[in-house]
Structure 1
Amino acid sequence: MSIKLIALIATLTLTLAPCVISAPQYGELCNSLLQCNRYTENFDQGVICMYRANDTEPTGYCNMFAVPVGRCHCARNCGAFNDYHDDGEFVPELGRCVGYVGSFCFNGWGVNDCVENAYCPGISRFDLRIDKMFDFYAITVLVGLVIYYFFLRDNTDRSDEPPGPLVWPIIGNIFHLARAEGNITQKLGNLAKKYGEIYSLKVGMKRVVVITSKEAISTVLTNEAAFGRDRMGTFHDRTAGKNLGIVTGEGEMWEKSRTWTFKNLKEFGFGKSSEMEHFVQARKIIYNYVLRNPTCSDSLISEIDAIIGTSGVLEVTQLFSSAIYTIMWQMVEGRIKPGDEDDIKMLVVKSDAFIRSRSRGSGIVNSFPFLRFVFPQTLGYNDQMAFFNSCNKVAGKLYLDAESRLKENPTSTPTNLVESFVKNFSNDAKIFCRENFQIVFQDLLIGSTDTSSSFMECVILYLISYPEVQQKIYEEIVAIQGGPGENKFITFLDRKSMPYTQAFLLELHRNAKILQNSVPRRALWDFKYKNYVIKKDTVILTDMRLYYEDKSIWQDPETFRPERFLTSNREICNAANIISFSVGKRNCPGELYANLVTFLLTTIIVGRYKLSVPVGQEKPRLDLRPGFAFKPYPFQATFTKR
């Protein structure tokens, strides 16, 4: 009842507010003559000034006038009003000017013009015609009633839905989130403490359900009713609103694209640990002496060595992006051919701008999509679309090149993912068209490279912040490959003999929380979780932050302690509690890729360099800046060759 009362008061306030505006008195502007400027017809002041054209210094005659709407009054001179040319009576009283002054004409000085609709604004601010006033109030009342309706609709009869804060019309709970200190997940966590493991919000016109516990995440996200995607903002525009790709695709498009893509990536190395290691450690990407090729100057290790000599300070931000992009490029294209390096560098630059832009206004754009066209630069829309368009251009070129090669030799066996994709066009043109490949290409880049690059920056951040942890990892590396200069290299299979390194990476997922919110889902139909109904088209968000800080699960969640994932026998435990890549069929398809690449890169870096905080600098901050994947704030690290 209190909600209805509040809404009624708000409605009456909106409706009656205009009535308290004091009306100007009749004749406010028309009581006195106003000084005329030369050669001026000043209709806005309710004054007409006419001049004799044959005078050297013409004298201006100023007359106030008041002529009923629709009448035409003629004056032989500026000082005398004469007869009308149509029915009606002249209104001589000054100050009776209403609304629009009717047309009037002048003659006697060679002027015979009718001026239509001169306006007296000073008098008619309130004294508009009564029908216009009625229209104004009618519209105000209607708007108030509409607001009242939406207020009641959003806040009553919610007994079967998850609880949540009071919802305001149009804006929803945007103010609740706007008051968040720091990133938005902190505010979501505060709401969860108040409303529980599952609660509802209204963000703009979208109804949102937030889930925070492992039980809720595991149950809701594995339900097929929650397999939809909410294509909004730039993710809507990148596909022109079409159902395409893996990340934002739905139904048959998503299922076939995902299944085929990762089945065939396995054929070309993705998912086979030995083959993946070949991609990671070969072709000049990371470790130049893997192939005994000391002339390679564009690998990650060569780049680091060239900068530091034997010891030096590096800016860690974006340090790993090129290497990780190159690895994924080879997953798709199978090789690095002339000209590809330029495309990779361009995508790295565009990707960095894309990531930074996501922290500027993605939440606002998702809530009020029309704003991306009003403030495209401020909200990051231009940078995001520039990245998508660049990806489309590169992917389109790869597709056409593969198509051309297959036309020249139609019986050839595909040697990479692109050729295999093109060759299947005849089997299913809807799935294997160029348009869908462009979006799949984007999905692979965004889903794998951004996450892995951000994670590796966190690896360096935590290793310099916890030198004792770094030393334990190094001891495991030495136990397997020997000291610096040894020829044995760590493989992904060696991870079984490196439990502390695995525990470090698991604890980094938990403590750093790079993936605090998984890609939003959308309810395809109404379904229940416990006693609550999640309605069709509701957006489903996960809050990993609160889960990873739950003391009932982690005891001392604020402490960085890899040992929590080790038993007394130094075996891995509790690994299943790390669900950063989501759960169910719609989990992140690049999980294996990310785990393998980050494991190998970590062991290569720690095995070759001792990492530390630069002399004279304080330890960098461990909290992360929001984005598609959360990233460390810019920081530096000293790399010293072992």
Structure 2
Amino acid sequence: METPVAVIPASILWLWAQAASFWNNITELFILLLLLALLLDYVLCRKRSSRYPPGPTRFPFFGNLLLIDLKNPHISFRRLAEKYGAVCSFQIGWHNIVVLSGFKVIKEALGQKAEEFANRPHIPLFSLVSFAKHCEGILMAKYGSGWKEQRKFCISTLKNFGMGKKTLEERVAEEAEFLCSEFKSKEGSSFNPQELVNKAVGNIICILTFGERFDYNDETFLKIMHLTEEIMKSFARNLPQLFIAASWLAFIPGPHLKIRKLYSDITTIVRDFVNEHKKTRDPSFQRDFIDAFLEEMEKVKGNPKTSFNEQNLVKIIYDLVAAGTETSASTILWGLQKMVLHPDVQKRVHEEIEEVLGRDKTPTMKDQPQMPYTNAVIHEIQRCADIAPLAFPYITRQDVEVGNFVIPKRTVVFNQLSSVLKDETMWEKPHQFYPEHFLDDNGQFVKREAFLPFSAGRHACPGEPMARMELFIFFTSLMQHFTFCIPENHPRPNEERLFAITVSPSPFHICAIPR
């Protein structure tokens, strides 16, 4: 039977009507859900107080994410402070973040109110490297009994193995000789000092943790150095996940998962050292940090809540290696760059070294008081290098007042250490390399209150004494043996700052002319 011509258009019209009704319902549902989401967004992001720190207008859902340069967040934070003040705020998604800037405000927060800024926020990107309970390490561990236990243990153990003592001083001086020997082997030709400096500084923390120094070409040592550097770079490349705290977005498959693989690789190396120490350990004689930690594990055996466990040992060793290598090595590299860019300063350092040490005497910390200009130069290198422009974030334990503003409980807070080291109210020439910042009218060294490269408060760097020793002995030894200059036909070193959690100089070449 043939279908009537009039029936076909009617069927089409009926289907069209049904489809239109369906899409109208979908549109209405979408609009309703969007309105509910906007309402939820508004409720979650309401300011809790009229005294909440000022900041830019946020966009729904994204907050101020588009205003933050996640490759150089410290620059974005500086611009926010310039516009909104020393205590300002912004939002990433639904998360409130406050930025503190300038010596006065940061001193108030980390000095007078340090207890309120002692806790760390949960950051999923950091959690990717370890999911074990009671395994937080020390750098980003939450403020509690476990962190207090490990910080106290780390400081006391490092002291026992020489931090701030002559035993370690001798090892640093010995390593400085190895480094000078490598520089001398270049025979005055052009070279990039970065790799050699990293190896020398890395060996000091390896001596403390593993009980031995490595040859600069040792395969295991090279892997440790490479993996540490790559993990730092990967964290920096994945800062969006770092900022979106407590968010499932941090666990979406993507490039940031490379961090877990890198950490797994370095963990395997560290576990091999731990297992070897278990076999060869003599309870009556502690060789290094691992031996000391294993002894504590024996003491608390059977306690499920203790922070002394093998997973935490591995995590803490990584924290020590990463923090103990990148910071001091980058500072020394900045120092070498400043010397070739400021030959007049280099000449005065050479003259003081010649007067106090001569060409042959190995520098020691006892010589430091007799070398005020060299000491001032090292401090000014640290100030200008500003290698940690942002302290690791805190989360407030309760509502706290800072700079006449109220920061609500559980707000993530960043301290701009860069703003302290370059505070125009505290330094005569904050944006210039000026060693006289640390000298009085008589040419004697003076401490400066706003000199906080190691941060302050409850999380101030526990390795500060060791870092000060390394910087003085390495820098003085290099300056004692060499005159540094820009290679012929090479441009002046680029002073661009490369951010990868810490800040290092752009790669540059120098000539080390033996003296």
Q: TM-score, normalised by structure 2?
A: 0.91
User: Which secondary structure state, in structure 2, belongs to the residue aligned with residue 457 of structure 1?
Assistant: helix
Which residue is 1:72 aligned to? none
Q: Is 1:162 matched with 2:53?
A: yes
| 8 Å contact from structure 1 (residues 233, 372) kept in 2 | yes
Cα distance change of structure 1 residues 607 and 156 upon mapping to structure 2, 3 Å threshold = closer
Which residue is 1:390 aligned to? 265
Which of 261, 279, 294 is the matching residue for 2:171? 279
Cα distance between partner residues in 2 of 1:322 and 1:80: 90
Structure having the higher Rg: 1
Q: Which moved more, 1:516-525 or 1:457-466?
A: 516-525
Q: Greater relative contact order: 1 or 2 (C-alpha under 8 angstroms, separation 6 or more)?
A: 2
User: 1:281, CA displacement in angstroms?
Assistant: 2.2
Cα distance change of structure 1 residues 434 and 339 upon mapping to structure 2, 3 Å threshold = farther
| 8 Å contact from structure 1 (residues 233, 366) kept in 2 | no
Cα distance between partner residues in 2 of 1:376 and 1:153: 28
Which residue is 2:316 aligned to? 440
Deviations along 1:295-321, one digit per CA (max 9) or x if unpaired, are xxxx32332222x22x11111333311
Which residue is 1:366 aligned to? 243
Deviations along 1:452-504, one digit per CA (max 9) or x if unpaired, are 11111101111110011111111111112213xx2x11111211111111111
Cα distance between partner residues in 2 of 1:608 and 1:268: 29
Correspondence 1:321-400 to 2 at 5 A: 321-336=198-213, 341-367=218-244, 370=248, 373-374=251-252, 376-377=254-255, 380-382=256-258, 384-400=259-275
Cα distance change of structure 1 residues 511 and 269 upon mapping to structure 2, 3 Å threshold = same
Q: Which moved more, 1:341-350 or 1:136-145?
A: 136-145
Structure 1: 5+ residue runs without aligned partners?
1-78, 83-89, 100-122, 288-298
Which residue is 1:525 aligned to? 398
| 8 Å contact from structure 2 (residues 51, 405) kept in 1 | yes
**Size of the alignment, in residue pairs?**
506
Cα distance change of structure 1 residues 155 and 205 upon mapping to structure 2, 3 Å threshold = closer
1:92 partner letter: V
Which residue is 1:172 aligned to? 63
Cα distance change of structure 1 residues 338 and 276 upon mapping to structure 2, 3 Å threshold = closer
| 8 Å contact from structure 1 (residues 516, 543) kept in 2 | yes
Cα distance between partner residues in 1 of 2:128 and 2:286: 32
User: Which secondary structure state, in structure 2, belongs to the residue aligned with residue 626 of structure 1?
Assistant: strand
1:257 partner letter: Q
Correspondence 1:307-326 to 2 at 5 A: 308-309=186-187, 311-326=188-203
User: Which secondary structure state, in structure 1, belongs to the residue aligned with residue 96 of structure 2?
Assistant: strand
User: 1:596, CA displacement in angstroms?
Assistant: 1.0
2:181 partner letter: S
User: Which secondary structure state, in structure 2, belongs to the residue aligned with residue 630 of structure 1?
Assistant: strand
Cα distance between partner residues in 2 of 1:354 and 1:616: 35
User: 1:127, CA displacement in angstroms?
Assistant: 5.2
Cα distance between partner residues in 2 of 1:522 and 1:242: 21
Which residue is 1:599 aligned to? 472
Deviations along 1:91-149, one digit per CA (max 9) or x if unpaired, are 922363479xxxxxxxxxxxxxxxxxxxxxxx75x852625532441232222232144
User: 1:271, CA displacement in angstroms?
Assistant: 2.6
Cα distance between partner residues in 2 of 1:574 and 1:595: 14
Cα distance between partner residues in 2 of 1:91 and 1:373: 58
User: 1:634, CA displacement in angstroms?
Assistant: 1.0
| 8 Å contact from structure 2 (residues 161, 168) kept in 1 | no
Q: What percent identity do the matched residue pairs reach?
A: 22
| 8 Å contact from structure 2 (residues 214, 221) kept in 1 | no
User: Which secondary structure state, in structure 1, belongs to the residue aligned with residue 278 of structure 2?
Assistant: helix
2:331 partner letter: F
User: 1:549, CA displacement in angstroms?
Assistant: 2.9
Q: TM-score, normalised by structure 1?
A: 0.74
Cα distance change of structure 1 residues 613 and 95 upon mapping to structure 2, 3 Å threshold = farther
Cα distance between partner residues in 2 of 1:389 and 1:575: 42
Which residue is 2:139 aligned to? 247
Correspondence 1:129-528 to 2 at 5 A: 130-131=21-22, 133-151=24-42, 153-178=44-69, 183-222=72-111, 223-240=114-131, 242-243=133-134, 244-250=136-142, 251-272=144-165, 274-282=166-174, 285-287=175-177, 299-306=178-185, 308-309=186-187, 311-336=188-213, 341-367=218-244, 370=248, 373-374=251-252, 376-377=254-255, 380-382=256-258, 384-406=259-281, 411-429=283-301, 430-483=306-359, 486=360, 488-528=361-401
Q: Which moved more, 1:312-321 or 1:629-638?
A: 312-321
Cα distance between partner residues in 2 of 1:341 and 1:573: 42
| 8 Å contact from structure 1 (residues 154, 167) kept in 2 | no
Cα distance between partner residues in 2 of 1:416 and 1:493: 25
Cα distance between partner residues in 1 of 2:280 and 2:3: 90
Q: Is 1:556 matched with 2:447?
A: no
Cα distance between partner residues in 1 of 2:481 and 2:89: 49
| 8 Å contact from structure 2 (residues 64, 91) kept in 1 | yes
Correspondence 1:537-616 to 2 at 5 A: 537-616=410-489
Which residue is 1:295 aligned to? none
Cα distance between partner residues in 2 of 1:566 and 1:423: 46
Cα distance change of structure 1 residues 398 and 241 upon mapping to structure 2, 3 Å threshold = closer
User: Which secondary structure state, in structure 2, belongs to the residue aligned with residue 589 of structure 1?
Assistant: coil
2:33 partner letter: L
Q: Which moved more, 1:515-524 or 1:426-435?
A: 426-435
Which residue is 1:45 aligned to? none
Correspondence 1:19-58 to 2 at 5 A: none
User: 1:152, CA displacement in angstroms?
Assistant: 5.7
Cα distance change of structure 1 residues 466 and 336 upon mapping to structure 2, 3 Å threshold = closer
Which residue is 1:622 aligned to? 495
User: 1:241, CA displacement in angstroms?
Assistant: 7.0
Which residue is 1:69 aligned to? none
Cα distance change of structure 1 residues 401 and 156 upon mapping to structure 2, 3 Å threshold = closer
1:286 partner letter: A
2:176 partner letter: I
Structure 2: 5+ residue runs without aligned partners?
none
| 8 Å contact from structure 1 (residues 372, 381) kept in 2 | no
Which of 92, 114, 118 is the matching residue for 2:7? 92
Cα distance between partner residues in 2 of 1:160 and 1:170: 23
Cα distance between partner residues in 1 of 2:106 and 2:251: 34
| 8 Å contact from structure 1 (residues 347, 387) kept in 2 | no
User: 1:339, CA displacement in angstroms?
Assistant: 12
User: 1:432, CA displacement in angstroms?
Assistant: 1.8
Cα distance between partner residues in 1 of 2:264 and 2:344: 45
| 8 Å contact from structure 1 (residues 209, 538) kept in 2 | yes
| 8 Å contact from structure 1 (residues 155, 166) kept in 2 | no
Cα distance between partner residues in 1 of 2:490 and 2:289: 46
The alignment yields a C-alpha RMSD, in angstroms, of 2.7
Q: Which moved more, 1:355-364 or 1:261-270?
A: 355-364
Cα distance between partner residues in 1 of 2:216 and 2:133: 31
Cα distance between partner residues in 1 of 2:215 and 2:198: 20
| 8 Å contact from structure 1 (residues 177, 184) kept in 2 | yes
User: 1:372, CA displacement in angstroms?
Assistant: 5.0
User: Which secondary structure state, in structure 2, belongs to the residue aligned with residue 553 of structure 1?
Assistant: coil
2:511 partner letter: T
Cα distance between partner residues in 1 of 2:458 and 2:292: 24
Cα distance change of structure 1 residues 337 and 153 upon mapping to structure 2, 3 Å threshold = closer
